[in-house]
Chain A
Amino acid sequence: MKRTKTADLILIYSVLTFIGIIMIYPLLWMISATFKTNSEVTSGLSLLIKEPVPDGYLALVNNYGGNINCIKALFNTYVYLVPKVIFTLISSLFTAYGFARYNFPMKKLLFGLLISSMFLPDAVMIIPQFILFSKLGMVDSPLYTALVVPSVFAYDTYFVFLLVQFLKGVPSELDDAARIDGCSSFQILFHIIAPVLKPALVSCAVFQFIWTSNDFMGPLLYVNTPSAYPLQVYIRLAMDAESGFQYNRVLASALLAVIPSLIVFFCSQRSFTDSITSGAVKG
């Protein structure tokens, strides 16, 4: 890249800082508002906290609308989130390996179906799947089966696609050498391929973690018992439950809902941003 003039540099940095402030202000405002009283929140734009109050955070353990509070709702989220992430990794790895390393009849057609289900909005499957799952008695089941089961079948084909892209870069001589040594295909997949694909698998896990934490429609349809509500559903109901809008309480619960995703994002930042793109630009 050519040397950039100082004046240009200053201009670029100021524009970027300005955009950065706009991007981040709502989040900083949210954090500061969790410590404020309603009258202080509504009195202006300032992020400074004059008289910090802990009420918003104390309210996280208060029950609203049944035997449920924010902490319990967060725990509920992980009851289906953890199995969903694990099943997604296993089923996507199987499917990706099959497509990347094997030839079989109708492979082109099947891969086309896989890609097109990636581009088809989830919204078109919501009601049809709801009818299916309610016929199968999976609505409001204690283990959140309706939320977990799709991941057993590599339902989010985005991850399959991502892993196929990564597998293209793994030389198949690696498989052949292991096969000559007498490894079965499953052994090759788990002992040779999976370790090589670790960065890609980590980013699949991170994506699925964040998407599932953010998912609202699924729990809204399939969880009807208040004590089983995951956080996304609970915080919306808690927002509407009271008359009057208690800023610090509502925003503290919203903050609790985004913190796990932010932590996971910051811990895995490199592989996260890298793999969005390696999947995308080639596609």
Chain B
Amino acid sequence: MKHNSGKSRQLTRHEREGLQFISLWITGFIILRLFPAVFSFIFSFSDYSLFGGISEWGMMNYEKIAGDITIITSLFTTLEYSFITVPLRLLTAFGVAMLLNRNIKGMAFFRTVFYIPSVLGSSVAVAILWTALFRNDGTANALLSSFGLPEINWLSEKGSAMFVISLLRIWQFGSSMVVFLTALRSVPHDLYEAAEIDGAGKTRQFTSITLPFISPAIFFNLITQLGLAMQEFNAPFVITKGGPRGSTTLISLLIYNSAFQMRDLGLSCALTWVFFIVISVLIAVIFSTQKHWVFYADETEEP
């Protein structure tokens, strides 16, 4: 380390105290994030197995990932799942938030009702409920036959199995809705009045006032929901068990299976790193588009 008299000045008491307050988090960051990340990167070049040790080093895990059709398929399935569920969930959340955004009675009640599925989150209990609803003798088929439609083997056909786990995520749009709702409430009212005086129609008001004002909320929802959808584990693990024929094996489930069924920790480390790169690129792309469509009313500094 360089000892530059200008830089290595003594820390003031104030600075020392601040560092003390955040020291727990820094320690945790190093031990629980940085250290495991470095080691998993090293292990990704080995055949490290769950119970045995390491007998070989090399690129084999990455070669396997590039050459294995089931792994490539799983990555694309995860992207497909995310690109279906995130827009649908956000559109539903936004539409319902628009409906709720008026001063009429009972809005708080509806907001609570719509939020309940989000409280239960992606818990196993909800996944079990979904399994019960979409069994062959379950309620979904009872609904179909009450309309005189043919029954569907929801969990044993590729398309419908994907539909079932996607529907679960969309059903839980409540948390995104609450974010939109608060953003909609924060749009200053006089802007709409001024626009009306200027003769702007409803559509024009929506595109020129509402959308820019809520763009930070759209951005926040997009990033967080994309992250959550990309790592979905419980629904495929409990409801579809990754099937039929691997068609709902999302990447988290594949990472889990390669570690705990195939007992190949090396491969699962490599998969984790590939997943990390994919998700980082996606998030970086969305962040880079931010300046073109997200408008911040007050450019306050970080603390």
| B233 engages A123 (CB within 8 Å) | yes
Q: State whether the Cβ of B94 lies closer than 8 Å to any Cβ in chain A.
A: no
Q: Indicate whether A250 sits within 8 Å of B132 (C-beta atoms), given known contacts A128-B39, A280-B179.
A: yes
CB-CB under 8 A from A101, the residues of chain B are 18
CB-CB under 8 A from A111, the residues of chain B are 302-303
- Measured CB to CB, the residues of A under 8 A from B are 1, 4, 9, 12-13, 15-16, 19-20, 23-24, 26-27, 29-30, 33, 42-45, 91, 94-95, 97-105, 107-108, 110-111, 113-114, 117, 119-132, 150, 152-155, 157, 160, 164, 167-168, 185, 210-211, 213-214, 216-217, 221, 232-233, 235-236, 239, 245, 247, 250-251, 253-255, 257-258, 261-262, 265, 269, 273, 276-278, 280-281, 283
CB-CB under 8 A from A19, the residues of chain B are 96, 114
**Main SS of the interface on chain B?**
helix
Rank and list the top 8 A-B pairs by shortest CB-CB distance, nearest first. A153-B28, A102-B18, A98-B21, A128-B36, A123-B231, A277-B182, A128-B40, A214-B123
CB-CB under 8 A from A262, the residues of chain B are 116, 119-120
| B104 engages A4 (CB within 8 Å) | yes
Q: Other CB < 8 Å A-B pairs besides A12-B104, A103-B15, A127-B269, 18 of them?
A: A1-B103, A4-B102, A12-B102, A42-B142, A45-B139, A91-B25, A97-B21, A104-B11, A105-B11, A117-B29, A131-B265, A154-B24, A214-B123, A216-B123, A217-B256, A277-B178, A277-B183, A281-B183
| B238 engages A153 (CB within 8 Å) | no
Which one, A113, A128, A164, contacts B303 given CB within 8 A? A164
| A131 engages B183 (CB within 8 Å) | no
**A to B CB contacts below 8 Å, 24 in the list:** A20-B110, A24-B113, A42-B142, A44-B146, A45-B142, A98-B20, A110-B22, A120-B227, A121-B279, A124-B279, A125-B36, A131-B36, A153-B27, A157-B25, A211-B121, A214-B120, A214-B122, A232-B124, A235-B124, A236-B124, A236-B128, A262-B119, A277-B179, A283-B220
Closest B residue to A165 by CB, please name it: B303
Q: What 0/1 readout, one digit per residue, does chain B (89-122) give for beta carbons within 8 Å of chain A?
A: 0000000100110111010001111111101111
Q: State whether the Cβ of B234 lies closer than 8 Å to any Cβ in chain A.
A: yes
- Size range of the interface on B? 35 or more
Which one, B17, B217, B223, contacts A119 given CB within 8 A? B223
Closest A residue to B252 by CB, please name it: A123
Counting chain B CB atoms within 10 Å of each CB, which of A99, A121, A131, A232 scores highest?
A121
Complex Cα spacing A251 to B35, Å: 41
CB-CB under 8 A from A281, the residues of chain B are 179, 182-183, 186, 216-217, 220
CB-CB under 8 A from B100, the residues of chain A are 16
CB-CB under 8 A from A211, the residues of chain B are 121
CB-CB under 8 A from A132, the residues of chain B are 31-32, 35-36, 39
Q: State whether the Cβ of B255 lies closer than 8 Å to any Cβ in chain A.
A: yes
Closest chain B CB from A26 CB (angstroms): 6
| A12 engages B132 (CB within 8 Å) | no
CB-CB under 8 A from B142, the residues of chain A are 42-45
Which one, A98, A233, A251, A283, contacts B22 given CB within 8 A? A98
Complex Cα spacing A125 to B28, Å: 13
Closest chain B CB from A37 CB (angstroms): 13
Closest chain B CB from A229 CB (angstroms): 12
CB-CB under 8 A from B272, the residues of chain A are 123-124, 126-128
Tell me the B119-177 residues at the A interface (CB within 8 Å): 119-133, 135, 137-139, 142-143, 146, 171, 174-175
Q: What 0/1 readout, one digit per residue, does chain B (289-303) give for beta carbons within 8 Å of chain A?
A: 000000000000011
Q: Indicate whether A16 sits within 8 Å of B99 (C-beta atoms), given known contacts A127-B265, A280-B217.
A: yes
Q: State whether the Cβ of B283 lies closer than 8 Å to any Cβ in chain A.
A: yes
Which one, B19, B24, B127, B146, contacts A152 given CB within 8 A? B24
Q: State whether the Cβ of B72 lies closer than 8 Å to any Cβ in chain A.
A: no
Which one, A12, A105, A221, contacts B99 given CB within 8 A? A12
CB-CB under 8 A from B143, the residues of chain A are 45
CB-CB under 8 A from A250, the residues of chain B are 128, 132
CB-CB under 8 A from A94, the residues of chain B are 21-22, 24-25
